[in-house]
Amino acid sequence: MPHAISVTSRRRRRTALVAGVAALSLGLGLSGCAKYDAQSPHDARENAYKAAAKAAEAGGTDGKAAALPAGAVDCRKAKCIALTFDAGPSNNTPALLKVLDEKKVRVTFFLLGHNHVDKYPELVKQMGQNGNVLGNHTWTHRRLTDLKPAEIRTELNHLDDEVEKLTGKRPTLMRPPQGRTDEKVSKVCKELGIAQVLWSDTASDYATTDSALIKKRILKDASRDGIILLHDLYKGTVPAVPGIIDALRAQGYTFVTVPELLAPATPEPGKVYRP
């Protein structure tokens, strides 16, 4: 009997160790082993309201800064979630835009430059319509934490310059490739007026064409104030989107863009936002 207890104990410790290593790997995979300060959408909103209330109490006029933009959803009241797509446009984007239009959903696109923005300029213009928000996913998808500051600036400015030429609006949101950022990247982003946006929910759709599996993975980790990461360039993703939207709406979720999720806070350059 003592031997059986010892074996069970060892198994439990081994299971706990494996779970701990898996959790650590997940965290390191997102951050790239780097240090950075992140703020949740909930905290960004609450801080904006508190700052406005404090200013109003002091007799200032900044209390109006807490007002939501016209037509924006109040995510203190609504069960909000943000749907985002990286590395577009692609040949699957027209089908995605059709789904979003039919479902009346606004999303945030983090655009990739080489072989995407430069290949589908007309799609970029369409993606920025109907309330969608265009963000930056760099020009060539290089890992920013491996680059020198000047190279980071080039990756970000090249994309922003091209999108501004096409749409008249310069992106102020950025998603670092592989979610890897650090203090160096944040400093450059602050200089360029760009805020960083990570995520809380992804389906690893780059590794499967199974639309049902993609939907299942997204629904499993969906949460209030969450940010969903998908890629429309992969074959199984767009067919999964209608079911994802319908299922989350049935659970009471309201779809918003990333700026809406943070409102009335304004995305702060250099800051990292992560649920």
Cα gap 240→196, rounded to integer Å? 26
Which one of the listed residues 86, 160, 225, 232 is annotated catalytic?
86
| Active-site annotation holds for 160 | no
Cα gap 195→233, rounded to integer Å? 24
DSSP tag of 93 = H
What CA dihedral angle connects 190, 186, 226 and 23, to 10 degrees?
A: -170
Please name which of 175, 240, 174, 256 lies closest in space to residue 203, comparing C-alpha atoms. Answer: 240
| Active-site annotation holds for 231 | yes
Q: Is 33 exposed, middle or buried (0-12, 13-18, 19+ CB in 10 A)?
A: exposed
Q: If you search the block for the tokens 């080489």, which residue do you land on? A: 114
Q: Is 195 exposed, middle or buried (0-12, 13-18, 19+ CB in 10 A)?
A: buried
Which one of the listed residues 116, 160, 231, 232 is annotated catalytic?
231
Write out the catalytic residue numbers: 86, 231
